[in-house]
Amino acid sequence: MINFVDITKDIPFQNKNGIPFLTFGLQNALKNKPLSFFYESSSTISSFEAKKIDINGNVTETISLSTSLIISNGTTHICSGDVDYASDLDTGVYYYDVNGQYWSDYFCVDDSLVDGTSNQGRIDVSGLNFHDTNYTISWRNKTGAPDILFGLPIFSNNYPPPFRYIATDIISSFKFVQIDVSVNIVEEISLSTSLILADGTYHTCTGLNAYTSSYMFPALGYFEVNSRYESDLIYMNETENSGIDYDIIGLDLIVY
């Protein structure tokens, strides 16, 4: 939802004194569809434009948009934001102008953003957490993540940790990616794909089948499946006489 001003009755955001640096705190918008908005107006929709500006706030381009993107019901102008533009907007800072009278706040179009669809939220079900890096940022890359050595689970180098997450594809690759404390990749170790079961709904690792080799110790890193599904960071170490207690049905997270 983006705010609008009737410039015949109020000073638009663009002309107000003391507005922050141009890109400070702006809403991000998809390149292919408008931000949602509504405001009171009894006028019909005669024009709808996106005005691109430079860093000094000067209009550098005016893009005519379809007036059908806005519904006028006699009292309100409403844009749901669910219908695509005829053509995508380029990356940059813009504001909307409706009828040459209603101006929006600035907003930023980011062409790297994509529409969300179903099954793009959390995918982990139980055990070690995994992320689908096609849609979410991995834990190690999130802003403000603590020291990477803080609170890491430690697992045996003989068996993979149990995990289950939502995924419909077959298993084409499984690896352990070793990193250093600066999060630089040190080595990528290929593991047997037979350690994971794919049933069309989940990728499941029971943690009961041993690695073919147990040379991964000590090692800081994460698991990666199909170059797409990435686990949280873990620490792999050599353990002896560890108390293994698997819950095969629930796949509870086991820390050695």
Please list the pLDDT of the chain residue by residue as tens digits (256 residues).
Answer: 899 999 999 888 877 776 666 666 788 899 999 999 999 999 999 999 999 999 888 899 999 999 999 999 999 999 988 899 999 999 999 999 999 999 999 999 988 776 665 556 678 888 898 888 887 777 676 655 556 777 788 888 888 999 999 899 999 999 999 998 888 899 999 999 999 999 999 999 998 888 887 666 778 999 999 999 999 999 888 765 444 444 433 434 333 3
- Please report the pLDDT score of residue 165 as a whole number: 92
CA-CA distance, 10 to 120, in Å (whole number)? 41
The pair of structure tokens assigned to 195 is 């350690």
Domain covering 124-237, topology: Immunoglobulin-like (2.60.40)
Give CA 236 to chain center in angstroms: 28
Q: What is the CB neighbour count within 10 angstroms for residue 244?
A: 13
- Please report the pLDDT score of residue 120 as a whole number: 63
- Please report the pLDDT score of residue 13 as a whole number: 80
What residues does each domain of the chain span?
Answer: 4-109, 124-237
- Please report the pLDDT score of residue 256 as a whole number: 36
CA geometry: angle 13, 42, 44, nearest 5 deg? 90
Length of the chain: 256
Beta strands 27-29 and 107-109, pairing class? parallel
pTM: 0.52
Nearest CA to 96 among 88, 106, 86? Answer: 106
CA-CA distance, 104 to 14, in Å (whole number)? 9
- Please report the pLDDT score of residue 214 as a whole number: 62
Q: Could you report the per-residue pLDDT of 121-159, keeping only the tens digit for each?
A: 678 888 898 888 887 777 676 655 556 777 788 888 888
Residue 100's SS3 state is coil
Integer-rounded Cα Rg, in Å, for the chain is 26
The pair of structure tokens assigned to 177 is 């990616």
- Please report the pLDDT score of residue 156 as a whole number: 84
CA-CA distance, 206 to 162, in Å (whole number)? 5
- Please report the pLDDT score of residue 157 as a whole number: 85
- Please report the pLDDT score of residue 124 as a whole number: 82
Q: What is the CB neighbour count within 10 angstroms for residue 224?
A: 20
Is 204:251 a contact under the CB 8 Å cutoff?
yes
